[in-house]
Each structure stands twice: as C-alpha cells, then as structure tokens.
Amino acid sequence: MIRTASLLIACAVSVIAAAQPIDIPAPAPAPAAVAEPAAPQAAPATVPASASPTAATPELRPYDASYSFVAHGMTAGTSSFSLRRASADEWTFVARNDPHGLFRLFSAASLTLTSRMKVGPQGVQPLLFTAAQPDGSDQQAEVQFDWAAKRATGTVEGNRIDMALRAGVQDDQSVQVALIYALLGGHTPSGIALFDKDGIRDYDYARVGEETLHTPMGDVATVVYESHKAYSPRRTRFWCAPQYDYVPMRAEQKRDSEVQWTMEIRSVQLK
C-alpha cells in the first residue's frame, strides 16, 4: 500500500513543484513506511507473519479493495489491491493505480505492482516482486527472493540487485499480506523488515488505538496501527478492520505534524 502511495506522492510533489517553488522531498520507494537515509539501528525487527503458538492458524481469504488517494491536499487518483491464491501455498498480490488529472502525465503513477509469495507455517515469504506498466512494458523492477540461498537478486530502476536476506524480510507488496496474516493469527507484530534497493530497513510497528470510521460500507470498527523508522520524522498509520480480515480501511502518513497523504477505502470485497 505504501509503495503505491509513494508512486503517486512523488508525482504530487512534481506537480506542486511545477506550480510554485516549494521544498518537499519526494519519498523513496518503500511499502509500510517511506525509506529514509541510513541511521544507527537497534536490533532488527521483523514481521513474525506466522501465528503465535497459542493462536489458531491464520486463514487468508482473497479480496479486492479500492481506495481514493489524496497527496498534499490534491486528489491524485485511485488505487486498487487484489489478493488471489495461485496454488496450495502461493498467493499473488497486485496493486494498480489510476492517476487523475495532471498525474496522468507521470508514467510512474500508473505502474502495476505485483508480488508472488509463499504462505505457510514459515509465515509469508516473498518470491517475486515486479513493477511495470499495466501492459507489461517499462518494467521498473523485477526482484527474485531465493530463500534457500538467502539472496535477493534482480533489477530495480535499471540497477542490478544482489543482496543477502534474513528471515522475515518482505517486499513492497508482501508486507501488507504479512501484516494481515499476523493479525489474523492473533499476533500484533513488533516490527517490519522491508527489502529496499539500498538495503533492508527496519521499522517499529505498534497498536495505538481503536476508531470507528464512516465508510461507503457503513460504520466500520477499526484497530489503528502505526509504523515508524528510528530517527525518521515520518509516521504511517493504518486503520485495520477485523470484520474485513484486517484489510486497511484508511492509511495516513505524517511528516512531523503535517499530513503528507491519505488513502480512504472506496470498496472492499472478501472472496
């Protein structure tokens, strides 16, 4: 979800900059939080995607969800997410963007992001991540995750990638499925480890409250979670709905006290 937001917000920054001089840095690609420059880090924190020993084994369900996206006060477009089972233990998660207005001038705003992952007793393990135009052209990323060799290899924005992996690392898309899988298993993750072209980045993750949201589906009770990277001014919150298998109803990122972007649910359907 956050990687999808990053693509649209980068375009929003470009639109704003073209209209008037303004110093707003475009966030680097990252899913559950926007990547920041490297800083001293504490012990690695990862999403323990499998259920806790006392919790029932999580059961994923396919779903479709659509969101409206607003960046810096401008309506940037809509984003849709689709989770599907590909085989007994493999799933595919696809994010598609439909940019509006001036945002259509930026090819990055319409990229389709796809993650193929394995889900089982080991939790959620990404296998292949791609980012390309809807017709498959202009491929911006293709990364393969070899868990036997513990290596991630491929290309991102024309740069070759070959780096070591550690248990629990997620890609830009699989992280959302890993979070849902953990919450379904009755476990609140303490952290998120994300693959990035410049290295693995760790984020704290915590439950911060509850809130009932007014949505197109009616009033929906949500549990609010927040992700944050050490030394970063950015914090991202997710309003996850237990009645919809913890699919986020809303997401918001702030830089200090300023709202950078929001995503609001338009529709959701569990299959």
> What region, left, alpha or beta, does residue 134 occupy, with left being phi > 0 and alpha being psi -120 to 50 degrees?
alpha
> Structural domain tally of the chain?
1
**Do the domain assignments include residue 170?**
yes
Confidence at 213, pLDDT banded by 50, 70, 90: very high
Q: Is the pLDDT of residue 112 over 90?
A: yes
Helix (H) / strand (E) containing 177: helix 174-184
Higher pLDDT, 145 or 136: 145
**Do the domain assignments include residue 36?**
yes
Confidence at 107, pLDDT banded by 50, 70, 90: low
**Do the domain assignments include residue 257?**
no
Residue 74's domain spans which residues? 2-204
Q: Are 63 and 269 in contact (CB under 8 A)?
A: yes
pLDDT in tens, 32-45: 333 333 333 333 33
**Do the domain assignments include residue 93?**
yes
Judge residue 33's burial from the number of C-beta atoms within 10 Å of its C-beta, 0-12 exposed, 13-18 middle, 19 or more buried: buried
Tokens 């919790």, residue located: 55
**Do the domain assignments include residue 45?**
yes
**Do the domain assignments include residue 103?**
yes
Helices and strands: H and E segment counts in the chain = 2, 14
Higher pLDDT, 5 or 253: 253
Query: Of 197, 145, 205, which Cα lies nearest the Cα of 179?
Result: 205
**Do the domain assignments include residue 147?**
yes
Q: Give the per-residue pLDDT at 190.
A: 85
Q: Are 106 and 87 in contact (CB under 8 A)?
A: no
Range in 64-73, 107-116, 176-185 the model is least confident about: 107-116
Using a pLDDT cut of 70, give the percent of the chain over it: 76
Average pLDDT over every residue of 136-144: 87
Q: Give the per-residue pLDDT at 11.
A: 41
Average pLDDT over every residue of 231-248: 97
Average pLDDT over every residue of 208-225: 98
Tokens found for residue 145: 């995750």
Would you call 17 helix, strand, or coil by DSSP?
helix
With b meaning 16 or more CB within 10 Å and e meaning fewer, what string describes 77-112? bbbbbbbeeeeeeebbbbbbbbbeebbeebebbbbb
Q: Are 194 and 182 in contact (CB under 8 A)?
A: no
Tokens found for residue 84: 């599907």
Cα 66 to Cα 8: distance, rounded to the nearest angstrom: 15
Higher pLDDT, 10 or 131: 131
**Do the domain assignments include residue 116?**
yes
Averaged pLDDT of the chain:
82
